[in-house]
Structure 1
Amino acid sequence: MPKLHGAHLLCLAAILVASCTSTDAPAARTEALRYEGVETRLLDDDLVNFRVQLRGDAARDEVDAYARCAAAQYALIRGFGFARHVRTNLREQGGVWIADAVYTISPALPRGLQTLDAEVVAAACAEQGIPTV
């Protein structure tokens, strides 16, 4: 795994913070969040589909973060250090939010704008209490 220094670390930290925080003031929750599990499906050697469900008074970015956390931890489990977001479809059905996300996983930082350093993201998820795989 390549070592990241200076500007690379600052860039990754900025991306992580921007993707995990909301600029809107949080509204009072009427129902606590319940993370209802992650389903993973390997589509190819480095292409993985994650389906996550979140019940409660959730916002779209919280459901997206749940899928991102699952992808980061899965990459680590498979011995990879990075993931790249391909797409996420979000929907709400009967009070349950569902994210259907696809990520590539890789040992080196992939090209693209929506890349994740799996270690950094998984640690942030643990700090925020977001479960992973």
Structure 2
Amino acid sequence: MPARISLSLAALAALCACEQPSEDKAPFVPAYEGIETRLLDGDLVNFLVAMRGARGSEDVENYADCAAAQYALIRGYGFARHLRTNVSEEGGLWRGDAVYTISAALPRGLKTIDAEVVASACAENGIPMV
């Protein structure tokens, strides 16, 4: 019997060694550092956003989308279209430089934003807006 026990323990040890360790993910606790809005031309708007604690460029892009959505609503428009976002990170500070067009009607293109829907999601997720 001792041979069976040691074989079982060896099999158990081998199985445990094969298990993938659970990933300990740090909680997402962003610090939104502010939004600067620049009207470039009639319906063309530039948003400069800064934040700490981003998990990657997508978090910065979401922050810019929130700014664009709220700005469109403030101006009496219902939609925005994302044109481009440049993201950089230095010393833990993430910066986004994003450009959007705003419009009353749904614009053509793939990266359109329904301002009311996006602004509502931003409020629910605690992302500040303009």
Aligned to 2:61, which of 37, 60, 64?
64
Identical counterparts, % of pairs: 66
- Distance change >3 Å, CA 27–CA 124, structure 1 → 2: farther
- Number of residues paired by the alignment? 108
Structure-2-length-normalised TM-score:
0.78
Unpaired runs of 5+ in structure 1?
1-25
Distance 1:27 1:113 in 2: 36
Contact 2:54-2:60 within 8 A present in 1 as well:
no
Partners of 2:54 and 2:83 lie apart in 1 by 26
Query: Aligned runs of 1:1-133 on 2, under 5 Å?
Result: 28-29=25-26, 32-133=29-130
Query: Per-residue CA shift, 1:48-106, capped at 9, x if unaligned?
Result: 00000011253211111000000000000010000000000000011100000000000
Moved more, 67-76 or 27-36: 27-36
Structure 2: any 5+ residue segments left out of the alignment?
1-22
Residue 131 of structure 1 and its aligned partner are, at CA, apart by: 0.7
Instruction: Please provide the CA RMSD for this pair.
Output: 1.7
Residue by residue, what CA displacement relative to the aligned partner does 1:9-63 show, whole Å, maximum 9, x if unpaired? xxxxxxxxxxxxxxxxx97237731000000000000000000001125321111
Letter in 2 for 1:59: G
Answer with 1 or 2: which has the greater Rg.
2
Note if contact 1:91-1:97 (Cα within 8 Å) is conserved in structure 2.
yes
Give distance in 2, aligned partners of 1:88 and 1:51.
10
- What TM-score do the two structures reach when normalised by structure 1? 0.77
CA contact (8 A) 1:84 1:115 kept: yes
For 2:53 and 2:36, the matched residues in 1 are separated by 19
SS in 2 for 1:108: coil
Pair 1:57–1:104, CA change in 2 (3 A)? closer
